Amino acid sequence: MVYEWLYPLHDIIHAFNVFRYVTFRAVYAAIFALAISFLLGKWTIAKLKELKVGQPVRQDGPQTHLKKQGTPTMGGVLILFAVIASSLVWARWDNRYLWMLLATAVWFGGLGAWDDFAKLKARRSDGLSARSKLALQFLGAGLVMAIYFQTNPAGFAHASELNLPFVRQPLPLPAWFHVALSILVIAGMSNAVNLTDGLDGLAAGTSALVSLVMVIAAYLAGHYKLAEYLRIPFLPGMGEGAVVMAAVFGACLGFLWFNAYPAAVFMGDTGSLALGALFGAVAVLAEQEHLLAIVGGIFIIEMLSVMIQVTSYKLRGKRVFKMAPLHHHFELHGWDEPKVIVRFWIVAIVLVLLSLSTLKLR
């Protein structure tokens, strides 16, 4: 919106020329989203309390979590509002990537809200059935890819290539397989962030770190000279994805102010499903899936711990971990909740550095 309104006036007021730069608009998208989260945080929490939107807590989990029963949930509406509002203000409206990412946020955020309402209605920690939720996640991811190919027919040619670190030339893949992989990345990361959202500030803090790498990935993909230098695919317009991811960064930081231990509000599935899907969508659209596989390592490990636990119990009747997801295992192992959170953040920071190092490894 700012670009459409003010940049055309740059011939009259030269200072307005700054609005054509993605970097400038991305910085202010982050600040704007952060400000929205700060300004509306207390009001949102009060409103959720008024509506009695309290978090159900698993009775078989760590007993220290029982005191969290009734803490306002669905705080993800604050994150979503901040991201969407900031993106609409600072991104270019003539950019197809902007609308694909916002559609992703709305679809998965709406699904998360439905799941949160189902939990509240049933007054338990389980909402929609896993099968129903997964089907809708795959449907949403499939729609994102369908829109991508519909708006850019040439994009399907790229669907037969997978970019990897240490490999100069893209890895050829059957187009149908890469499309299926892209859908899996979006839906899978949505679930992964959802499973990580079990401790105060864990998902929000980790998401802020991941979003920084996604800002860089989107910006580089949309910058011809940098993309050529780093030997990554140049995708005209993808730079606007950096503006959206910067808004995610600011929104997560602002939300973390209220979600930090002891949390005054939880993001719920409304926030976690949307954040994960956004990360997956940016990685897929920027053709940098391997970056997300590294920087999103915390999310992936949390998801794998659940898969391993369920599989082991079904096949052997034994559990590998004291409890899954993995953060609960460490809690039951004797770590205090704040210690688990900070140590997971430290690992996430290391993964940020490792992921960025791969950009030049071709």
Residue 64's pLDDT is 62
Per-residue pLDDT at 362: 62
pLDDT in tens, 41-56: 999 999 998 888 776 6
Region 212-225: what's the mean pLDDT? 95
pLDDT of 57: 64
pLDDT at 223 over 70: yes
pLDDT band at 20 (very low <50, low <70, confident <90, very high): confident
Residue 10 has pLDDT above 80, yes or no: no
Mean pLDDT of 192-212: 95
**What pLDDT score was predicted for residue 153?**
57
**Orientation of helix 297-316 relative to helix 175-196, angle to 10°:** 90
User: Is the predicted pLDDT of residue 156 greater than 60, yes or no?
Assistant: no
Give the pLDDT mean for 291-306.
96
Give the separation between CA 154 and CA 148, rounded to whole angstroms.
10
How high is the mean pLDDT of the chain?
Answer: 88
Domain borders along the chain are: 21-360
Check whether 59 has a pLDDT greater than 70.
no
The mean pLDDT of 177-205, rounded to a whole number, is 93
Q: Determine what percent of the chain is predicted with pLDDT higher than 90.
A: 61
Percent of the chain with pLDDT over 70: 91
pTM (2 decimals)?
A: 0.93
Residues 6+ apart with CB under 8 A from 322: 328, 329, 332, 333
Residues 341 and 205: beta-carbon distance below 8 Å: yes
Segment 337-353 mean pLDDT: 96
Q: Provide the pLDDT for residue 7.
A: 64
The distance in angstroms from the start CA to the end CA of the chain is: 37
Q: In this predicted structure, what is the pLDDT of residue 221? A: 93
Cα–Cα distance list, 42 to 192, 246, 254 (Å)? 28, 23, 11
pLDDT in tens, 63-79: 566 666 778 889 999 99
Residue 218: HSE in the Cβ half-sphere, 13 Å Cα cutoff: 30
Question: Is residue 73 helix, strand or coil?
Answer: coil
* pLDDT of 202: 96
Averaged over 70-92, what is the pLDDT? 94
Question: For residue 126, what pLDDT band results from cuts at 50, 70 and 90?
Answer: low
Please state the rounded mean pLDDT for residues 90-119: 93
